[in-house]
Amino acid sequence: MKRRLISLLLVAAMVGTMLVGCGSSKEEESSGEESKGDSITVLVESGSPAEALANETAAAFEEETGCKVVVDAVAYTGMYDKLSTEIKAGEATHDVGCLDVVWLAAFKDAIEPVNDADTSDFLPTLQESGTLDGNLLGYPMWVNAKVLIYRKDLIPEDKVPTTWEEYQALAEELKTDDMYGTTVFGSGSDAVCSFLDFACQAGAEGLVFDKDGKVNITDQAYVDALNFMVENANADYTPADSLSTAATESQELFTNGKVAMQLNWSHQYPAAVEALGADKVGCAPMIGGSAGVGATTGPWYECVMKNSANKEMAKKYVEYMYEHNGDYMGLTLKIAGRTSVYEEAGKEAGNEHTTAVLETLGAAQSQARPMVTTWSQIEEVLVGVVESCLGGADIESTLESAAAEIEAIGQ
């Protein structure tokens, strides 16, 4: 009887050991099956730098930890719906999610805070934009902001514009029968980001909502921003089809020699250099309005999902990827999330956009879009605002109507 008891205890101990995987979670799933402790699943946008780096580092992470990384690549338009579905179902399909900042508010209750993170090397604005209700929700992967990209073979360094007035005057001066001075983004989310960029520069304190949560788009800063966009769109130094122009269309015009300068996302700079040559393309920080330089940002964060069965390993993974953040600079977009990475990259020819982004993000007026669960609905309203005003609608009445719509939508 004693031998039989000892044998049973040994078998139980062996089974218990087998059930503990690299995730360090010893809890069994509700089905009674062993947890997937030997792997974690990471949700990334297909075709993005996140997918590329996740695949490149997976083998090294497994070698270091013994934990396999399963990369689930999904198109941008499907990522939000996929996470929403599994969160509502209480499932843990993904241990880590690579998330656009505009989704954080919607998923905040499903994300494990990382409040013990060392944020000292986060790029400017990235700690604030990743924090909700006092909780930091992830490690930054990269950030994008608009900068000035220009034809340096046409614009001497001492004439690179830094203000709205200089920008407009130079655009007029550079206009020829074959080339526009600049462009205006009047289409989709790029139009909204441009509108908010200029609102930052005109002195907006909080984007769309002020510090007390009140809708503030009727403030003078927003009126000034739209007036600036309308003036440029109506000028003969920009293409007539601003309502169908966004980042991609502007970049195409620029690389085809049809535009002398543009305010575009920073990753467009390396692509322009590759297309036209380093001798023809330069970049500088974002221009400034009455309140100075400012821009709204587009960061992505790597987040641990609360329902993960391997939460500790998922935390190790996001920390590991943050340590390898510099590897993003070797990928197509050449953008990252750490100040030290941008400083080091800026020392190399071809990475001048990183220095421009650092200065832009470091400006007092640079700020993130509002962290609200209703952003997608609010953005639709703002797209309508820009399109209406570029189409000739009265700016102040359009903003008043939009403010009422946003107040009805709520946060």
- The three-class DSSP label of residue 230 is helix
Q: Which of 382, 332, 384 is nearest to 217 (CA)?
A: 382
Task: Indicate if 195 and 267 belong to the same structural domain.
Answer: yes
7 in a structural domain: no
Q: How many domains does the chain divide into? A: 2
Cα dist. 245→229, 242, 396 in Å?
13, 5, 24
**Which residue range is the domain that position 278 belongs to?**
146-296+372-409
Q: What does pTM read for this prediction?
A: 0.87
79 in a structural domain: yes
Token pair for 90: 């209480």
Q: Please, are residues 379 and 190 in contact by the beta-carbon 8 Å criterion?
A: no
Helical H segments across 326-374, by residue range? 339-345, 352-362
Residue-wise pLDDT tens for the chain (411 aa)? 434 433 433 333 333 333 333 333 333 333 333 344 589 999 999 999 999 999 999 999 999 999 999 999 999 989 999 999 998 888 779 999 999 999 999 999 999 999 999 999 999 999 999 999 999 999 999 999 999 999 999 999 999 999 999 999 999 999 999 999 999 999 999 999 999 999 999 999 999 999 999 999 999 999 999 999 999 999 999 999 999 999 999 999 999 999 999 999 999 999 999 999 999 999 999 999 999 999 999 899 999 999 999 999 999 999 999 999 999 999 988 999 999 999 999 999 999 999 999 999 999 999 989 989 999 999 999 999 999 999 999 999 999 999 999 999 988
Task: Indicate if 328 and 379 belong to the same structural domain.
Answer: no
Task: Indicate if 303 and 183 belong to the same structural domain.
Answer: no
Task: Indicate if 200 and 284 belong to the same structural domain.
Answer: yes
* Secondary structure (DSSP) of 128-149: HHTEETTEE--EEEE---EEEE
Task: Indicate if 331 and 252 belong to the same structural domain.
Answer: no
Task: Indicate if 203 and 257 belong to the same structural domain.
Answer: yes
Looking up residue 285, the CATH number of its domain turns out to be: 3.40.190.10
Task: Indicate if 275 and 330 belong to the same structural domain.
Answer: no
Task: Indicate if 123 and 269 belong to the same structural domain.
Answer: no
Task: Indicate if 152 and 225 belong to the same structural domain.
Answer: yes
Instruction: State which of 322, 352, 382 marks the end of a domain.
Output: 352
Token pair for 141: 């992967």
Q: Which residue has the tokens 């949560």?
A: 213
Task: Indicate if 222 and 86 belong to the same structural domain.
Answer: no
Q: Please, are residues 158 and 167 in contact by the beta-carbon 8 Å criterion?
A: no
Task: Indicate if 155 and 239 belong to the same structural domain.
Answer: yes
Task: Indicate if 150 and 169 belong to the same structural domain.
Answer: yes
Q: Please, are residues 170 and 181 in contact by the beta-carbon 8 Å criterion?
A: yes
